[in-house]
Structure 1
Amino acid sequence: MSQVSISDAEWQVMNVIWDGQPLTAQEIVASLSAQTDWAPATIKTMLHRLVKKEVLTFEQQGNRYVYRSRAKRSACVKQASRAFLDRVFESEPGPLLAHFMQHTKLSAQDIAELRRILDEKER
């Protein structure tokens, strides 16, 4: 996936698709209509935008459109994370991690996982 910016609303659309693909336009509209107050035309516009951004692909099956992701969720998360780090924390991961650790409730499991990752990074 090239450098593509996905809006917050488009993330909602993509999460529905990643969780259930392949999905018809009607299935996507039904799922998002249950979660949001978006009109079907709004959802279809976002699908069109995501196809144009080359994040989604579709095929026509009769009178239905079936959508699949062209981009892996992990690749999109990595790109969005990098953009956030660059924009908000001037590319410095230390302050970002400190901020989230200080301002987020962490479970014992979260803390253990962070320790494991930090120990790995130290080696």
Structure 2
Amino acid sequence: MNCVKISEAEYPLMEYIWEHAPISASALAAYSQDAFHWKKNTTYTVIKRLTLRGALERQEPGFIVTPLVTKQQVQQSELENLCNRIFAGCSKDFILSFISRESVSDEELAQIKQAVQEYQR
């Protein structure tokens, strides 16, 4: 999958955009000031970077921001990159490593099992 890269610093802003789009740049700047203590120029710089990489569309007048990629597309791309980088592309090893963690509850394991069974149908 070839998807837009979103940095750790940009991701929380993208989450807010996904939840509230379309949204004005001024509203994003106000949110970023409260949530991240970013100055208006910092927010606009991040918006510009994301726009240049194809994650966002900037519409005039009023500078309205709309996502061009979905959260699910970005998550899928990041998972694929992680699996390729750490587990040489082996999904089985990736999944077994994930579920072998002590922090995975029995309830979560049951939900994973159910999801796998539904996926197989």
TM-score of the aligned structures, taking structure 1 as reference length: 0.83
- Within the alignment, does 1:84 sit opposite 2:82 as a pair? yes
Counterpart of 2:7? 7
| % same residue | 21
> Are the structure 2 counterparts of residues 74 and 48 from structure 1 closer, same or farther at C-alpha, using a change threshold of 3 Å?
same
CA distance in 2, matches of 1:96, 1:113: 17
- Listed as ranges, the gaps of 5+ residues in structure 2 are none
Change (3 A) 1:34 1:120: same
Aligned to 1:101: 99
Q: Which amino acid aligns with 1:69?
A: P
Write the distance in 2 (CA, Å) between the matches of 1:72 and 1:122.
25
Question: Which string of whole-angstrom CA distances, capped at 9 and with x for unpartnered residues, describes residues 27-73 of structure 1?
Answer: 11222222213222111111001111111002112xx2110011121
What TM-score do the two structures reach when normalised by structure 2? 0.84
How far 1:107 moved relative to its partner? 4.3
Q: How big is the alpha-carbon RMSD for the aligned residues of Structure 1 and Structure 2? A: 2.2
Q: Does the 8 Å CA contact 2:3/2:74 hold for their aligned counterparts?
A: no
Counterpart contact for 2:22–2:64, Cα < 8 Å: yes
Structure 1: gaps spanning 5 or more residues: none
Larger deviation, residues 31-40 vs 78-87: 31-40
| Amino acid across the alignment from 1:39 | K
User: What is the match of residue 39 of structure 1?
Assistant: 39
Paired letter, 1:17:
I
